[in-house]
């Protein structure tokens, strides 16, 4: 009599299920049905995989089975998926039930709902991560402001030197020197604009304009023209004409960073036939009216180590020597794509090298 009362108390206050030795559900209480959204008829005779969330790795279930088949109790917080697709978390204890001969005859799992606590914990972690990034953001802004201050003086001096070069070229009718002068002036102008753009990048209010993506890409290629020629890099382009709203120089800086990264990878991996492909396409999303602009940048420089690929866009993450890179280029590129263009940038490896895909929504903001 007392045993039945204990059993009833447990079933009323916890989420309970039983399975046979193969993991097939033989019993569920009302609490299990309530949290999972399934009826008893839908659950009985099924595997517990019916509520398994795809985010949970196979190694977790392997550990569970190894533990309970060894006649030990398994305890963990488990992420599950209800019938309607919603997520619920339960603190779970799975215990093997043994017969008189010490053989396992079934398994009983007793759980209690910790979904609210888990979601609050995840929300807190996200807020802490955001605060950390905001702090880094402010530090980067101050750092760039200091760099800008240090750059302006030598740029002014370089302008004066170029002015003297121009006078000499004009007096001697030296067309080649005038050509170098004009190229140098363009580079200095771009550097000055870049300083202002990256300083403005960390300000809450930024002036955005409508620009053609292919023009911003071509600007980046033109700025690196001498480097591209010196390194014998072939750049293939194929553009659909499309406008976006943002800051053109910022987007050019993203492309410059990607080209320079490819150049360094070509050198590090001793690639002789150096090729970069840059494509711009507009496509529908899942055959709907929604459209997506994609800028696909790929090279044949050997690809990115899978060990660092997932953390490639983190600040100060670099695969290069300290004298070559700071680890801020891709982090800054991601921020530009996200904040200025409301898009995303992803990286993957192809058979020959790395592939960066920039996706930008095509709609009210970008038409």
Q: What is the pLDDT of residues 186-231, one digit of tens each?
A: 777 766 766 665 665 555 556 788 999 999 999 889 878 888 998 9
CA 364, CA 50: separation in Å to the nearest integer?
Answer: 41
**60-64, 117-121, 123-127, 319-323: lowest mean pLDDT where?**
319-323
Residue 48 phi/psi, 5-degree rounding, is -65, -10
Q: How many residues does the chain have?
A: 367
Q: What number is the average pLDDT over the span 131-143?
A: 61
User: How many CA atoms lie less than 13 Å away from 110 in the CB half-sphere?
Assistant: 12
| CA-to-CA separations, 362 to 50, 218, 240, 249, in angstroms, rounded | 38, 21, 13, 20
CA 341, CA 292: separation in Å to the nearest integer?
Answer: 12
CA 281, CA 296: separation in Å to the nearest integer?
Answer: 8
pLDDT of 234 > 50? The answer is yes
Q: What number is the average pLDDT over the span 347-359?
A: 93
CA 61, CA 63: separation in Å to the nearest integer?
Answer: 5
pLDDT 10s digits, 33-73: 999 999 999 999 999 889 999 888 888 889 999 999 999 99
Q: What local confidence, expressed as pLDDT, does residue 325 receive? A: 46
Distant-in-sequence, close-in-space partners of 226: CB < 8 Å, separation ≥ 6? 183
Helical spans, DSSP H, in 202-287 = 213-223, 225-230, 248-268
CB 103 within 8 A of CB 97: no
Nearest to 216 by CA among 358, 363, 326: 358
Tell me the domains of the chain and their CATH numbers: 2-113 (3.30.450.20), 123-202 (1.10.287), 206-367 (3.30.565.10)
CB 309 within 8 A of CB 303: no
Using a pLDDT cut of 70, give the percent of the chain over it. 78
């Amino acid at each position: 009599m007392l045993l039945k009362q204990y059993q009833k108390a447990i079933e009323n206050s916890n989420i309970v299920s039983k399975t046979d030795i193969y993991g097939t559900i033989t019993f569920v209480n009302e609490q299990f049905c309530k949290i999972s959204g399934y009826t008893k008829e839908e659950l009985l005779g099924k595997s517990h995989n019916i509520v398994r969330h795809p985010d949970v790795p196979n190694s977790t279930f392997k550990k569970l089975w190894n533990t309970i088949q060894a006649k030990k109790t398994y305890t963990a917080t488990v992420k599950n998926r209800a019938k309607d697709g919603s997520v619920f978390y339960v603190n779970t204890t799975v215990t093997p039930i043994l017969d008189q001969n010490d053989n396992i005859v079934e398994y009983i799992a007793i759980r209690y709902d910790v979904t609210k606590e888990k979601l609050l914990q995840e929300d807190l972690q996200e807020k802490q991560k955001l605060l950390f990034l905001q702090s880094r953001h402010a530090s980067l802004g101050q750092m760039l402001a200091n760099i800008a201050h240090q750059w302006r003086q030598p740029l002014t001096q370089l302008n004066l030197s170029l002015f003297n070069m121009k006078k000499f070229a004009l007096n001697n009718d030296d067309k080649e020197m005038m050509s170098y002068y004009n190229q140098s002036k363009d580079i200095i102008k771009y550097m000055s604009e870049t300083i202002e753009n990256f300083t403005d990048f960390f300000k809450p209010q930024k002036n955005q304009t409508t620009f053609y993506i292919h023009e911003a890409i071509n600007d980046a290629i033109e700025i690196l023209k001498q480097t591209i020629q010196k390194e014998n890099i072939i750049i293939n382009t194929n553009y659909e004409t499309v406008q976006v709203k943002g800051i053109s120089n910022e987007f050019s800086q993203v492309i410059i960073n990607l080209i320079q990264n490819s150049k360094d990878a070509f050198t590090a991996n001793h690639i002789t036939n150096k090729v970069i492909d840059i494509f711009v396409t507009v496509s529908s999303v899942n055959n709907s009216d929604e459209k997506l602009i994609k800028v696909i940048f790929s090279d044949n420089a050997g690809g990115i180590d899978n060990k660092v690929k997932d953390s490639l866009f983190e600040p100060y993450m670099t695969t290069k020597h300290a004298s070559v890179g700071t680890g801020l280029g891709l982090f800054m590129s991601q921020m530009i794509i996200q904040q200025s263009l409301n898009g995303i940038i992803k990286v993957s490896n192809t058979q020959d090298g790395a592939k960066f895909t920039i996706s930008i929504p095509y709609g009210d903001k970008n038409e």
